[in-house]
Structure 1
Amino acid sequence: MKTKLDLHRITLSQEKVLTALAQFKFLTTGQLLSLGAMSERTNLNKNISELRKFSSPLVGSISFGVHPGKGKLESVHYLTSHGAALLWEVYGEDYPIRFPKGNHGLFQQDYFHRVNTVTVHIALWQWVQRNDAEILFFCTYFDKLSTGKEKGYRAESAIRISERQYLIADALFMLKTPGSPQLYALEMYNGNDTQRVHHSLTAHLTALNNGQPSLQFGMDYASRVLCVFEFEVYKVQLMKRLSEDEGFTGAKEFFLFKSLEELKNEEFFEWQLFDGTKTGLF
């Protein structure tokens, strides 16, 4: 029996590409390979090209050219409104889909940070598939919500500090665990500016001391902040800074640390506190 995707001449591999983009919003070819959309890069690129060539393209791609230190950058792919409409037609209107509306808002200066943020999301999702957990929601700073009366847009990952002040986390997500649901803010730190990171985490500490973001999501227990670093050396430096900051005394259980390299080689569940103690995600 033919499915609606068969009628649209969408192969099973192309369906995997579309559903992966619907889940993660922006993905490089390498990230699609890591998700198992296909096994060979050449074949994957060919299928992405075919999805772009529909009379109403189902996939869009953004090219970034050559970086002076890293060489040619991978293109970033996303679901178009036509691709989203097709998936809703096939899977129903309640099927969760993330796709950029209007200007995709992805610029070269944000490339590595956004790609790394998605890499963390993928690592979380892959860990959840292997364990007794579930992602109840995951939103990022590049997901936008209408502010209604304020006639503008705000990042979905905004943490309310006061009536008009927000702390924008790189991502907010909630896990369903064997115990109670757990809420996390995620920060992806690129580069070597540990002073900026220290300032960022001080803002998170203030939010936690004020009961946010737990109150925002109707929880009566504290959330935690996951801090992922592009480079291990700057993770270690920042952990040392916090251990020497009296303002963070008594708060170490709420800040968890990991580098991208550790993310590749360790279970997502395994983290460190800033005093070096090993701890679990929950």
Structure 2
Amino acid sequence: MYLKDKHIEAMKHIATYKFLTSSQLVKLGLNKHRGDVTNNLKQLTDQKRPLIDKITFPVDPEKGKLESIYYLTSRGVKFLIEDLDYPEDQIKATKSKPTSTQTYFHRKSTIDFHICLREWLNCNDGSVVFLNYDFDKVGNNRSKDRIQHLKAINSLELDNGVSFIPDAITKFKVAERDYLFLFEQHNGKSSKRLIEQLCLHAIAISEGIASQKYNFERSNRVVVVCEFETLKNIVTYKMKQMKIFDNLHNFFIFKTNDEMKNYFFSDWSLISGQKVDFI
């Protein structure tokens, strides 16, 4: 099958990030405009057995029309591996498609973080060792052994048996030094669930849960990105009053989505409000 360079480039981007919208593909440099992305990918999505498919969503009552999400089909995965010798372990294949608008913005924002991270690493002689999302699964529900059924790759179990799933877990390298970061994306204006999740992170850091799981010699850091600045400020204020975070102020860094997109490396906030760099 003959494909244009832009088609192959789009497939490789989607293999890396799993799901992408046209605006995200514009940010990645595929085309200058969303309309050009749509036109470019029609050849791949309109086939009888497409290499790339897309998920469309109903109009959101507050946000209006939502962008479609592109993903690789099983045929697209096979094409990358067999025709382009693309490494299979670098392909984020889709086991289930997101169809709910309830998770749409959260998932899109989580992928935005992945894009920003890779762009920054590419400019600073760094590389991603791995990055897994909360919606990445491992296993097979057809197995007779329930232990082998689908489960979240990111699931972490505390010493008391309580499990939680960070929105993303990544290990990356800069200047021959490894880093392990856990990521939380928070959409909306309610602080309760986010603080509960960050308390679990605090316990996990104290118990070395992620460091043990990923064979990392230091404690991990937690990146928290909030949709709204007011929510970010409320959360850090409350965390300053909580004893569980007393010795962990340097392990949590905060930004809003807009701040992250505008300047990724610098001006992250600690719980105390002090500004620090990403690493």
- TM-score scaled by length of structure 1: 0.92
The counterpart of 2:68, out of the listed 72, 75, 79, is 75
* Correspondence for 2:234: 237
Identify which range, 50-59 or 194-203, moves more after superposition: 50-59
The counterpart of 1:254, out of the listed 214, 227, 251, is 251
The counterpart of 1:38, out of the listed 31, 40, 47, is 31
* Correspondence for 2:178: 181
Measured against aligned partners, the alpha-carbon deviations of 1:167-213 in whole angstroms (never above 9, x if no partner) come to 20000001112253110110000001111111110011111111110
Shift of 1:138: 0.4
Shift of 1:165: 4.2
Write out aligned runs for 1:93-242 (5 A).
94-95=87-88, 96-101=90-95, 103-146=96-139, 150-162=147-159, 165-178=162-175, 180-242=177-239
SS of 1:213 mapped into structure 2: helix
Shift of 1:219: 1.8
* TM-aligned CA distance change 1:93 to 1:267, over 3 Å: closer
Shift of 1:55: 3.1
Q: Give the aligned length.
A: 274
Measured against aligned partners, the alpha-carbon deviations of 1:248-268 in whole angstroms (never above 9, x if no partner) come to 111101111111010122133
Equivalent pair of 1:189/1:227 in contact (CA under 8 Å): yes
SS of 1:176 mapped into structure 2: strand
Seq. identity, %: 31
CA distance in 1, matches of 2:21, 2:98: 16
The counterpart of 1:61, out of the listed 54, 58, 61, is 54
SS of 2:210 mapped into structure 1: coil
Matched, 1:274 2:267: no
Shift of 1:271: 1.4
Measured against aligned partners, the alpha-carbon deviations of 1:227-268 in whole angstroms (never above 9, x if no partner) come to 000111111111111111122111101111111010122133
Equivalent pair of 1:123/1:268 in contact (CA under 8 Å): no
Shift of 1:164: 5.7
Shift of 1:86: 0.7
SS of 2:132 mapped into structure 1: strand
RMSD of aligned Cα (Å): 1.7
CA distance in 1, matches of 2:261, 2:177: 27
Shift of 1:149: 5.5
* Correspondence for 2:78: 85
Where do 5+ consecutive residues of structure 1 fail to align? 1-7
SS of 1:193 mapped into structure 2: coil
Equivalent pair of 1:232/1:261 in contact (CA under 8 Å): no
CA distance in 2, matches of 1:39, 1:240: 41
Q: Which amino acid aligns with 1:99?
A: A
CA distance in 2, matches of 1:105, 1:145: 17
Shift of 1:160: 2.7
Identify which range, 192-201 or 172-181, moves more after superposition: 172-181
Shift of 1:93: 5.8
CA distance in 1, matches of 2:214, 2:148: 23
CA distance in 2, matches of 1:216, 1:106: 31
- TM-score scaled by length of structure 2: 0.93
